[in-house]
């Protein structure tokens, strides 16, 4: 399990926690969600534990979690769409995630209150709130009574990139643990343990973040696309436009922007700054539902100008 390889001591500390709410903080993709899943697995595991108290991975509870169908674990994340059905620009966990009667667009299959009404199938019900800083005031207030007196001894695990952005009412009721980036050698070791060839580029891109390893194929694809665009920019305008057109068809907002910035990391600061501006303009245009084809062509032109290739 990646969490035990990269965050073993932290997992041991979290596993010993006996309170109602735990707040895990750390940079994006550092491994907070992996630690939360490992913690949930440990709370319900019925097999022989590992050296850090981590779940066995083979009992019926662990198999259910690995299959994404554990009856005692609920993941709550920001909504994906607005009330009109469009992709949400502002990340928010609304009160509808907590109360079924307030989920007008039926975005959440399971709601926290209803989930916690049922006794655990195994040992303990666990609610993972991925993005606690995005809890709306109504949603946070609705959670308070549950956090203070969780039905059937449930555990809340809140995840946040910046604790300061989490509502004080949630902070004050949670014990805090920081999830720090892992050393490069630990990332490389985790790759080997998972059966992947050691990849210095992936290790450098990960920069200690376990979440990168959880999405390895998409990450590698984004890095390949970023290198191809960067090479095409140097070849000429036509090549740049063709590469931008190809990127449009595969563009993954979760990974491509970061992969592009990674590929540009050795360019002079003033060029990187102008390239960042061009990339931000692309993302804003896509969020505003502008023409994707035209937006990527504009990106290619702006990048060639940023890198002095006109």
Q: Name the pLDDT band for 49 (thresholds 50, 70, 90).
A: confident
| Alpha-carbon gap, residue 83 to 151, rounded angstroms | 31
Terminal Cα-to-Cα distance of the chain (whole angstroms): 49
**Domain boundaries defined on the chain:** 2-180, 186-212, 215-306
Tell me: the pLDDT tens digits for 279-300? 999 999 998 888 999 999 999 9
Q: What is the mean pLDDT of residues 145-153?
A: 92
- What is the reported pTM? 0.82
Question: What is the structure's pLDDT at 2?
Answer: 63
Question: What is the structure's pLDDT at 90?
Answer: 58
CATH 3.40.50.1100 fits 2-180, yes or no: no
Q: Name the pLDDT band for 79 (thresholds 50, 70, 90).
A: confident
Query: 48-52, 81-85, 152-156 — which is least confidently predicted?
Result: 81-85
pLDDT at residue 251 above 70? yes
Question: What is the structure's pLDDT at 201?
Answer: 96
Please report, for residues 44, 61, 114, 125, 203, the alpha-carbon distance to residue 121 in angstroms, rounded to integers and kept in the order given. 9, 9, 15, 8, 39
Displacement of CA 13 from its chain's centroid (Å):
22
Question: What is the structure's pLDDT at 4?
Answer: 64
Tokens in use for 146?
A: 């549950």
pLDDT at residue 87 above 70? no
The CA-CA-CA angle for residues 158, 161, 164, to 5°, reads: 85
| Alpha-carbon gap, residue 154 to 125, rounded angstroms | 5
Query: 59-63, 88-92, 108-112, 235-239 — which is least confidently predicted?
Result: 88-92
Q: Name the pLDDT band for 10 (thresholds 50, 70, 90).
A: confident
pLDDT at residue 51 above 90? no
Q: Name the pLDDT band for 53 (thresholds 50, 70, 90).
A: confident
Tell me: the pLDDT tens digits for 176-226? 999 989 899 989 988 988 888 889 999 999 999 988 988 999 999 999 999
Region of 62 on the Ramachandran plot (φ > 0 left; ψ -120 to 50 alpha; else beta) = alpha
pLDDT at residue 82 above 60? no
What is the C-alpha R_g of the chain? Answer: 22
Q: What is the mean pLDDT of residues 254-264?
A: 96
Q: Name the pLDDT band for 230 (thresholds 50, 70, 90).
A: very high
């Amino acid at each position: 399990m990646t969490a035990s390889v990269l965050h073993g001591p932290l997992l041991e500390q979290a596993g010993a926690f006996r309170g109602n709410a735990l707040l895990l903080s750390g940079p994006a993709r550092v491994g907070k969600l992996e630690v939360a899943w490992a913690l949930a697995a440990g709370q319900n595991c019925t097999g022989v534990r590992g050296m850090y108290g981590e779940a066995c991975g083979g009992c019926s509870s662990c198999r259910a979690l690995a299959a994404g169908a554990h009856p005692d674990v609920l993941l709550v994340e920001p909504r994906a769409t607005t009330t009109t059905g469009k992709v949400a620009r502002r990340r928010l966990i609304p009160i509808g995630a907590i109360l079924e009667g307030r989920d007008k667009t039926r975005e959440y299959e399971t709601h926290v209150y209803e989930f916690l009404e049922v006794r655990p199938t195994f040992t303990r019900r666990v609610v993972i709130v991925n993005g606690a800083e995005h809890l709306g005031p109504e949603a946070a207030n609705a959670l308070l009574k549950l956090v203070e007196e969780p039905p059937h001894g449930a555990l809340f695990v809140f995840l946040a990139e910046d604790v300061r952005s989490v509502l004080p009412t949630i902070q004050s009721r949670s014990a805090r643990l920081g999830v720090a980036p892992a050393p490069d050698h630990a990332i490389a070791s985790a790759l080997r343990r998972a059966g992947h060839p050691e990849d210095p580029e992936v290790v450098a891109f990960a920069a200690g973040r376990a979440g990168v390893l959880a999405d390895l194929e998409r990450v590698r694809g984004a890095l390949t696309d970023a290198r191809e665009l960067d090479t095409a920019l140097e070849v000429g305008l036509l090549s740049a436009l063709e590469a931008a057109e190809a990127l449009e068809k595969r563009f993954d907002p979760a990974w491509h922007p970061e992969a592009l910035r990674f590929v540009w990391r050795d360019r002079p600061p003033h060029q990187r700054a102008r390239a960042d501006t061009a990339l931000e303009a692309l993302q804003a245009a896509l969020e505003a539902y502008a023409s994707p084809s035209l937006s990527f062509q504009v990106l290619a032109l702006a990048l060639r100008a940023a890198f002095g290739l006109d």
